[in-house]
Amino acid sequence: MKIKSIYKVFSIALVFFSLSAMANATIFPPGLVLKPKENCSVANDDTPTFCTDFKNTVQSCCPIGKLPMQDIYHLAISTYGNLQNACAKEAAQYGGTVQACIDQWNCYWNGGEDSEGNLCDADGKACDTL
């Protein structure tokens, strides 16, 4: 009886580790060379070139390659649960703040103003739609 129980626990653990390894290989394929984060700049959300600058920065610094902005955003949200968590995890690594990260993504998708009252992209218009 003990051997069957131990075997079941071991089997379940093996399945979880295998699924975890497959998921990681799908998101971050083996042999993938991640881009150094020090080469990534932080776009200023209240300049007339924000939309272009932010898109270029995000796409060029995405560790799994140049993807559409919607895919990068959805990957971040599915990985971290929400924008706040994604920014808390990643912003400092790129030389930004959590709030600036949130402002940039909100400006990119929604337009309007950032948290300091500055117009997004200098005209308040969204850069793209989800």
Q: Same domain, yes or no, for 80 and 46?
A: yes
Please say whether the dihedral angle defined by the alpha carbons of residues 71, 73, 77 and 79, taken in this order, is positive or negative: positive
Q: Same domain, yes or no, for 48 and 103?
A: yes
| 8 vs 119, higher pLDDT | 119
pLDDT digits (tens, 9 = 90+) for 88-104: 988 877 778 999 999 99
Range of the domain at 28: 1-32
Q: Same domain, yes or no, for 67 and 130?
A: yes
Q: Same domain, yes or no, for 60 and 2?
A: no
**Average pLDDT, integer, range 62-72:** 88
Q: Same domain, yes or no, for 24 and 12?
A: yes
**Average pLDDT, integer, range 65-92:** 91
Q: Same domain, yes or no, for 14 and 49?
A: no
pLDDT digits (tens, 9 = 90+) for 43-52: 888 899 999 9
pLDDT at 3: 58
Q: Same domain, yes or no, for 67 and 102?
A: yes
| Cα separation, 55 vs 58, whole angstroms | 5
**How is residue 36 annotated by DSSP?**
P
Q: Same domain, yes or no, for 26 and 43?
A: no
pLDDT at 99: 94
Percentage, residues of the chain above pLDDT 90: 48
| 62 vs 126, higher pLDDT | 126
Q: Same domain, yes or no, for 26 and 41?
A: no
Q: Same domain, yes or no, for 46 and 80?
A: yes
pLDDT digits (tens, 9 = 90+) for 51-60: 999 999 899 8
Backbone angles phi, psi at 113, to 5 degrees: -125, 155
Model confidence at 66, in pLDDT bands (50, 70, 90)? Answer: confident
Coil, helix or strand for 25? helix
Q: Same domain, yes or no, for 2 and 65?
A: no
pLDDT at 65: 80
Count of structural domains, the chain: 2
Q: Same domain, yes or no, for 22 and 43?
A: no
